[in-house]
């Protein structure tokens, strides 16, 4: 089963939306396999947002991501990377469709509540960036037969 990284950004924590956002992933049927609260630093953010280092907004993005702690989560499920990405909605929250996390809780391009991995390859890289192997809890939900067809488990 696929695993993907979600970061509940500082604004999500400060605005008291952590429970709401986690609840959405739970209700969708995804399984939480790792979670921790950390204060990010400049070094890891330069690595995580390497594709944006030369953008004029990078200093604001970096400072915003260090403005309060974040909550790192690993969610597991069938097609989890795409499912979670679609639940987050468009990067520019003002264009995000209502019903998505960004579309329901934000209007900003920068302060957009969650980070989600954008591909299976990047999910693996990002999960290794923020977690060590012992952070992952391997357990099987007894509800899996009620959530999945045999070839989806």
135 binds ligand DAT (CB under 6 A): no
Nearer to ligand DAT, 22 or 114 (CB): 114
What angle, rounded to 10 degrees, do the helices at 80-88 and 18-28 form? 140
| Encoded tokens for 123 | 């999910």
Instruction: Build a one-symbol-per-residue string for 27-66: x at contacts with ligand DAT by CB under 6 A, - elsewhere.
Output: -------------------------x----x---x-----
Pick the catalytic residue from 9, 48, 85, 115.
Answer: 115
Closest CA relative to residue 130, chosen from 62, 67, 37, 54: 37
112 binds ligand DAT (CB under 6 A): yes
| Beta carbon of residue 31, minimum distance to ligand DAT (angstroms, whole number) | 22
**Do the beta carbons of residue 76 and residue 2 sit within 8 Å?**
yes
Partner in contact with 61, chosen from ligand DAT, Mg ion, none, beta carbon below 5 to 8 Å by kind: ligand DAT
Q: Quick check: is 115 catalytic?
A: yes
Distance CA 22, CA 33 (A): 12
120 binds ligand DAT (CB under 6 A): no
Partner in contact with 20, chosen from ligand DAT, Mg ion, none, beta carbon below 5 to 8 Å by kind: none
Distance CA 33, CA 16 (A): 22
> Nearest 10 degrees: CA dihedral of 30, 35, 39, 44?
-70
Contact positions vs ligand DAT (CB under 6 A): 52, 57, 61, 91, 109-110, 112, 115, 118
Active-site residue set = 115
């Amino acid at each position: 089963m696929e695993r993907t990284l979600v970061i509940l950004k500082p604004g999500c924590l400060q605005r008291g939306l952590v429970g709401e956002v986690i609840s959405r992933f739970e209700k969708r049927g995804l399984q939480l396999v790792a979670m921790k609260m950390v204060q990010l630093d400049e070094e890891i953010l330069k690595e995580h947002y390497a594709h944006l280092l030369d953008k004029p907004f990078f200093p604001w993005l970096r400072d915003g991501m260090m403005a309060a702690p974040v909550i790192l989560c690993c969610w597991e499920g069938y097609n989890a990377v795409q499912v979670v990405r679609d639940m987050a909605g468009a990067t520019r929250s003002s264009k995000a469709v209502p019903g998505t996390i960004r579309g329901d809780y934000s209007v900003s391009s920068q302060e957009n509540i969650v980070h989600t991995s954008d591909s299976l390859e990047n999910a693996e890289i990002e999960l290794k960036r923020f977690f060590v192997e012992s952070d992952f809890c391997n357990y099987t939900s007894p509800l899996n037969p009620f959530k999945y067809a045999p070839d989806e488990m």
